[in-house]
Structure 1
Amino acid sequence: MAKILLKYLWIACLLTQSCAAVQPQANPDVKVVTAEGQAAINKSAPLLAKKQALQDAIRQASMQGSVNVHSQTLIDQNNVSIDAVSMRTAAAVNNTKILKEWTTDNIYHVIATVELSADNSCSPHYRKRIIATGFPLANQGQMSAHETQDLHTGIPRELNNLLMESGNFIVSNSANINLYPRPDLAPELQDRTAYHPSKLMQIAASNGVQFVLSGVIRDLEVESTEYISGAGPLAFARSLARDVIARRGIGIDVYVHDGFTGALIFQQRYVDTVIGDVWIPSSYTVGSERFNSTSTGEKITQIIEQASNDISRALSCYPFTTRIIEVKDNQVFIEAGAQERINVGDQLVVYSSTGEDLNVDGGMSFVGRDKQPTGVLTIINITPRYAIGRLEVPARELGIRVGDWAKSW
């Protein structure tokens, strides 16, 4: 009887164009919600309005999941000066399906089903490009001259390898580049130059990547062997033991920046302790069997594996973004193709520049140009390295230029 009632409620939702009906599903961690969204049709671009209406439906559906609500009220001279409410959904969107769509009075409407995952992870459709830069040591004195010098480049190299093996990333390696002249101040970049993009954004643009991976080795300190309290044979034995059995702290910070905006989107510190033979011989390289056979190397490898999993999870729901590399009449070439799993028929939202360059801090920090969604690009041809798409409105009318962005919504 309950199933029959639920079926009639589902039909009623479709007929009345109402939202917030939940479908039954086998997986208890996935909640399927039906919601309605709408958006205005501007510049004779119904495809863009459809995308925006679907995004509105996703937003409405997400509010049916786990929502954190924060309110703020300020009173000034017995009057309410600020009364604000903000909401943030904790569920992740996995799949969407449009059930019905129509237009009325230049407004695009959609009714869609939205899958919300309670574990806050997504199944990425596109492979995202990421480049790894070096992990400098915050205190050079913590590494002996007789130990391996491969950590600076080896940790990001192995992190990249694991991300590539996940199948969801295309990786590049520039571990010889150090983003942090002052590692102790990371993740601050310290390269602010008036009216110029940051070094990080330049690296992303020149290598055609979406994300920039970086980090700092915060701690590799070995417990001091210089002073042992007490005297006699026991203190002498303890002093000798310190040369063989010691305690070493390990602390590694890992960062991921959005190469298009320069925003820091992932930051995590990993710490551990090693007791025993804590030294890593100079001939050992990160990722090798001999490196993993050492106590310190084994812990660092475990941190690399954990960081790889955390990054994959954090970026799984992040939209795929690529750059426009050529505009010819109504055809737009993007810097992504079959390698990124782009397919003929895929649709990406194009973000074009509006206004002048944005600078803050008295002009010392370059932010970029404001990007606004202006059209939808439908892919008509693909190659391994790039793809060609067609806009519903000519590019010149939308002001789309080389360097603008194409993004999965």
Structure 2
Amino acid sequence: MCAIWYAGISSVLLLLLSGSVQAQTVEVTGRAVIEISVNQAREDALTDALRQAGLTAGASIRSTQRLSAGQLDQDDMDIRSRARVHNVEVLREGPHDGIYELEIRAAVRPEAMCSTSQQSYRKAIAVAGFGLAQPSQATLGRLHNIEQDLPRVLISELNHSRFVQALDASRISLYEDPRRAPSMETSQQRLTTSVALATRLGAQYVVSGVVRQLGQGNPGKQAEPEPQAGWKSLLGLDRATPEREFVADLFVHDGLSGALLFQRTYQGSGAWTPERNASVGFASPVFWGTPYGKEVGHILEAMVDDIGEVIRCQPFMARIVAARGKRIHIEASGGTGIRPGDKFQVYRTGTFYNLDLEPRTELTDMATEVVIKQVQPQFVVAEMTSDAASLAIQRDDLVIAW
């Protein structure tokens, strides 16, 4: 199921409830209602206890609120633990008045995000065009350029991060019918389109999306007349400011396997103040100056944050495009931050099929590493200690930095 993100005011906070990074011992009690069976309630109570133990050491809190007409009508909060729980010991357990209680003692160690990652290379992301599900809705304000200019705004913002190298693929659409994306695609079709684009641009991830709604939320709704509206307001001649909706889906695919890593729907609305026949254009200064444009800007900021969150802790991967003797060429640009002397692990790529005969990409550690010797603008050259042919290293295998 796709998660719905109502963008308005969003924040991400990291609460460190314990100042020490050393493991600490905690005792907590998990509870669960006995409904299906006692065994199921016990499992749920244990899960609750482990969650409580993890939250004592640290938590990531994402709060999302939406304001409408000055009133708060949506308030969501997502809490995730940033800790490891181990050495769990059950102290007491049993049913009581229809509730199963389970008390545990456990060691909890706070863990920072990406604590084991030593690499800081910029991961290449190809940002494709955003489909427009209902083109007729773009007529108001002449926003038809949104299909290319929305991803270009994302590209510009993503490139401000030291972890991302965003590549412009805004003129390429992954979906023939945006109204049905991505459910219209079979897993094999998603694999083909996203992998083909990633291979073409040398990207590790592919970002795409669909703009679902640009229409007026309630065209018949009349705005409250302002005190300064003057005689036109008194005579009922003033024009109501329409409230316009913005709904968009964001997809992040893995460039190697084509797997859908992230999907979220973003929604917001704001007053559309330009004249009805005005040619505004998406992302123009006039557009950003409207209440509607400011709301869309908040949504795009949330998209950029989520994309960064998805890939931040992922390993850096790049394809091998040629292997001759001990020398290999790797598809990675100088903008990734790779430097001579850096070391990477070599992995062989293969395919296996699940029970539904759907292809899956498998990586095999070749237990060998390469050392970067040259960094060119569009590729890098590395050397191995062994001959590539002796390990059957070939095109489309990978080098990885964890």
Q: TM-score range by the shorter chain?
A: 0.5 to 0.7
Aligned to 1:405: 398
Aligned to 1:342: 338
198 and 284 in structure 1: CA distance in 2 versus 1, 3 angstrom threshold: same
Aligned to 1:104: none
| Structure 1 position 227, deviation (Å) | 9.3
286 and 224 in structure 1: CA distance in 2 versus 1, 3 angstrom threshold: closer
The 5 A counterparts of 1:219-368 are 219-225=213-219, 244-275=240-271, 277=273, 283-354=279-350, 357-358=351-352, 366-368=359-361
| Structure 1 position 189, deviation (Å) | 5.8
- Stretches of structure 2 lacking an aligned partner (at least 5 in a row): 1-15, 31-45, 55-80, 85-108, 223-232
Aligned to 2:207: 213
SS at match of 1:213: strand
197 and 223 in structure 1: CA distance in 2 versus 1, 3 angstrom threshold: closer
129 and 32 in structure 1: CA distance in 2 versus 1, 3 angstrom threshold: farther
SS at match of 2:377: coil
8 A Cα contact 2:272 2:292, kept in partner: no
Deviations 1:331-359 (A, max 9, x none): 121112532111222221211134xx445
Aligned to 1:372: 364
- For 2:338 and 2:17, how far apart are their aligned partners in 1? 29
Q: Scaled by the length of structure 1, what TM-score is found? A: 0.63
Aligned to 1:138: 133
SS at match of 2:131: coil
- For 2:114 and 2:346, how far apart are their aligned partners in 1? 30
Aligned-partner residue type, residue 130 of structure 1: I
157 and 118 in structure 1: CA distance in 2 versus 1, 3 angstrom threshold: closer
8 A Cα contact 2:353 2:360, kept in partner: yes
1:170 aligns with 2:160: no
- For 1:185 and 1:238, how far apart are their aligned partners in 2? 46
Aligned-partner residue type, residue 21 of structure 2: K
Aligned to 1:108: none
- For 1:246 and 1:137, how far apart are their aligned partners in 2? 21
393 and 270 in structure 1: CA distance in 2 versus 1, 3 angstrom threshold: same
SS at match of 1:353: strand
1:182 aligns with 2:173: no
- For 2:205 and 2:298, how far apart are their aligned partners in 1? 23
Aligned to 1:202: 196
8 A Cα contact 2:141 2:280, kept in partner: no
1:393 aligns with 2:386: yes
SS at match of 1:327: strand
> CA RMSD, aligned part only?
4.1
Aligned-partner residue type, residue 211 of structure 1: Y
- Stretches of structure 1 lacking an aligned partner (at least 5 in a row): 1-25, 34-63, 70-84, 94-113, 229-235
- For 1:218 and 1:350, how far apart are their aligned partners in 2? 42
Identity of aligned residues (%): 24
- For 1:338 and 1:388, how far apart are their aligned partners in 2? 11
